[in-house]
Amino acid sequence: MRNIKIATAQFENKSGDKEYNLSVIDRLSKKAAEAGADAIAFHECSITGYSFARKLSRGQMFDLCEFIPDGESIQRLQSIAEKNKIIVLAGLFEKDELGDIYKAYVCVDKTGMLAKHRKLHPFVNKHILPGNEYTVFDLRGWKAGILICYDNNIIENVRATKLLGADIIFMPHVTMCTPSTRPGAGFVDPALWKNRETDPTSLRMEFDGLKGRAWLMKWLPARAYDNALYAIFSNPIGMDDDQLKNGCSIILDPYGDILAECRSFSDEFVMATLNEEKLKLAGGYRYMKARRPELYKDIIGKAHHAEQRVSWLEQA
């Protein structure tokens, strides 16, 4: 495999404004291509916006959704990819001919759609159905996978995608700065975002603390390290509906080390070169070789006891 240059972006999307969001995707894609990137990844629902969907009825959700690959946004992404000579990954809400609704993330180049993943563990709106397949595809000679946001918190999903051959996993999110049972979690006051130019320190303390980056660093590097893969994490910056998000888009290598990270309060991208050598030098490669599936194949696939199971549908 030749080296591949991947960019990950952060930007402040506008709820339901596909035209605006696609214009930002176009602008950042152009800049990334000019900087030498082969591909650029954007966050979950980067085309449509995300948090506002929790307020939508089924009819409103259906109107927001698009058919894939025939919908207007996919055609626009293809045009962006062709014009800027770069592969683009972005997310939106999807509908199918049966009237079902999904949360999708696509990879598009000048020829059309290379891959589509339906989120396995969706929430935000009760009318969204879960996808039921893992996604692995060819990307410039590499094997890549996609897992959307909460999909990555279920560690079996990351290992399964790796076992299917993925050496790169794109991990688009809309996360952090929300309440949780874990200590230190919570919303970040939108007033800090409004005052980011006059008081950047207070905002950065919130973004980097346990409400944001410090929580991310508890688990994200482990996904890359344990599975000997490159993790491409993308997340929005700024207001997503009435919720403030901290960006922090990151590229991690198979050692779990950060290769590049968005650290501004602006729409931006960072880029890193991925090389094949690290895949076999990383500890996770040796751990994968040492696996003994016969010990735990029946345990890993075992159903939870009802009283132990936490339903992500009920959390929505």
- pLDDT per residue as tens digits for the range 238-268: 999 999 999 999 999 999 999 999 999 999 9
- The length of the chain in residues reads 316
What's the CA gap between 288 and 117, in Å, rounded? Answer: 25
Domains for the chain: give ranges and CATH numbers.
4-300 (3.60.110.10)
Higher pLDDT, 162 or 303: 162
Report how far apart the first and last C-alpha atoms of the chain are (Å, whole number): 41
> Token pair for residue 102?
């999904």
Task: Note the pLDDT tens digit of each residue in 116-144.
Answer: 999 999 999 999 999 999 999 999 999 99
Question: Which pTM was predicted?
Answer: 0.95
Residue 291, H or E segment:
none
Closest CA to 136 of 154, 151, 114, 153: 114
Q: What is the mean pLDDT of residues 18-44?
A: 98
How far, in Å, CA of 292 to CA of 186, rounded? 40
- Structure token pair of residue 283: 């500890």
The residues, any chain, with a CB within 8 Å of residue 124's CB and separated by 6 or more, are: 50, 51, 53, 54, 103, 316
- Residue 201 phi, psi (nearest 5): -65, -45
Q: What is the pLDDT, as a whole number, of residue 189?
A: 98
The token pair at 238 is: 């700024």
* Cα–Cα distances in angstroms (integers) from residue 268 to residues 109, 133, 155, in the given order: 21, 31, 29
**Coil, strand or helix at 211:** coil
CA-nearest of 50, 16, 103, 25 to 269 is 25
Helical H segments across the chain, by residue range: 18-34, 58-64, 72-84, 155-163, 190-194, 200-208, 213-227, 277-281, 283-289, 293-300, 312-315
How many CB atoms are located within 10 Å of the residue 52 CB? 21
Structure tokens, 144: 């890549």
Tokens 């996919």 belong to which residue?
Answer: 74
And the tokens for 274?
């991925």
Whether the per-residue pLDDT at 67 is higher than 50: the answer is yes
| Pairing, β 243-246 against β 250-252 | unpaired
The closest alpha carbon to 134, from 124, 123, 144, belongs to: 144
Instruction: Name the least confident of 110-124, 150-164, 280-294, 299-313.
Output: 299-313
Q: Percent of the chain at pLDDT above 90? A: 94
Q: Give yes or no for residue 156 having a pLDDT over 90.
A: yes
